[in-house]
Each structure stands twice: as C-alpha cells, then as structure tokens.
Amino acid sequence: MIGDLAAFIRANTKVLSPPLLPEIRLHLAEESLAIWSKTEEELGASGLPPPYWAFAWAGGQALGRYTLDSPEIVVGKRVLDLAAGCGLGAITAMRAGAASAICNDIDEFAGAAMLLNAELNGVAFDVQLKDLLSGPPTDANVILVGDVFYEKPLAGRALAWLISCQKGGAEILTGDPQRTYFPKDEFNHIAQYRVPVSRELEDAEIKTTSVWRLKSR
C-alpha cells in the first residue's frame, strides 16, 4: 500500500502542460502505460481505481480551453468541477475569475493530485471526495464536467443528477470527445477543438472534442 499520496504523485509524474493549455501546469504521467501498470499492480490489489488523475483527458482539455477563452461563463460564479481527476476544470475556472470552486472526485489520489495542481497554478479551491450523484443537487451556479461519459452506469447517473442540478438553476457544461455513452441529444454544441492525446490511452493521436451545454428543459 502506498502511504503518502502526494509523494507517490510527485515521484511518478512530471510537471507538464496539457497540449491545449500551455498556460496551465499539472502533475501528469509522461509514460501513460508505465504509470497505468504500476498503479494497477500497486493500487489494484488494494481495490483503488486506475490513475485517471495522471492525465488531462480530451474532454477536460477542451472544456478548460473554452473556460479560459470565454471567462464570462464562470466570472463571479460558484463552480463545481464534477469528476475532476487532476482538477483542470476547477483550475481553469479559478484562473478565469470564478468566485469559488469545488473540485469533486471519488478517488483519494485525485484529491491529492488536485491540491498539488492547484498549488502549481496559484489557485485555491475546496476538494470534495465523495459520490455526489446519488445525493441532492448542488447549489453551484456552474457545473463543469470533463470526460465522464465513458461508462454506461456513470453516464446515466451523471446525466440524471445534472438534470436535477439544472432544475435548481445550475448551468451545465461538458467537454466530450464522442465517448460511447455521451447523451448527445440532451446537449447543445458550443465549441469544437482538436485535442492531441496519447495513442497509448486513446484510439488516435488527435481527438476531435466538443464543449456542450445541457439543453434547458
């Protein structure tokens, strides 16, 4: 078992900028497969999930780029970065002028990575390590959702919860590179990017990735 989460992250990542966000620095895996198999060996045995937090996923990069280039979506707002992984959504929201941000995930390694990444980028936010999707809607004004529609149960639960949050007044933006379970009909398209990604993780070197807004109902 790995005792010190932050020490593990520092030892197994490099400080790099995601291709679409040269102004942001994150602790990221340089060799995708190496960290994936290392954490599978060391963490898999203890039931912990794979290191999603060690990558800036295509959906998160597109959403982060859009947030920095269209700061009016978050300026002065309370933002939730749902399933934040490395915390890119909350970092870009705070950089763009959000009043506050909460960075959410269920993985304690992601919790440690978000805090290290916040420090690297000179921003601060709260970390909430729990599954919000079965609970009441958040009171955030804006919910940023980077790349979560990759598994059917998660996609279904996320959509239902996001709709409940929208009914409470939240604006919902997601970045998605056409993942299998992305419920496209529920969203309006707002921007598109070509995101360089690792062929070791994805089926391509460039993922065409869009930013979408949940349709109002």
Ligand X SMILES: C[S@@+](CC[C@H](N)C(=O)[O-])C[C@H]1O[C@@H](n2cnc3c(N)ncnc32)[C@H](O)[C@@H]1O
- Single residue of 13, 20, 35, 59 touching ligand X by CB under 6 A: 59
Distance in Å, CB of 131 to ligand X, minimum: 4
Amino acid at residue number 180? T
Closest CB to ligand X among 213 and 216?
Answer: 213
Residue 64 CB contacts under 8 Å (≥ 6 apart), including other chains: 18, 20, 21, 24, 56, 88, 89, 91, 92, 146, 175
Amino acid at residue number 152? K
Closest CB to ligand X among 171 and 176?
Answer: 176
Q: Which of residues 102-131 bind ligand X (CB under 6 A)?
A: 104-107, 110, 131
Q: How do 206-214 and 171-176 pair as beta strands?
A: antiparallel
Q: What angle do CA 60, 159, 207 make, to 5 degrees?
A: 30
- Single residue of 8, 35, 146, 173 touching ligand X by CB under 6 A: 146
Contact status: 51 vs ligand X (CB under 6 A): no
Piece of 54-62, 113-121, 188-196, 201-209 that binds ligand X (CB under 6 A): 54-62
Q: Do 185 and 199 touch, CB atoms closer than 8 A? A: no
Interface residues toward ligand X, by CB under 6 A: 49, 52-53, 56-57, 59-60, 83-86, 88-89, 104-107, 110, 131, 133, 146-148, 150, 154
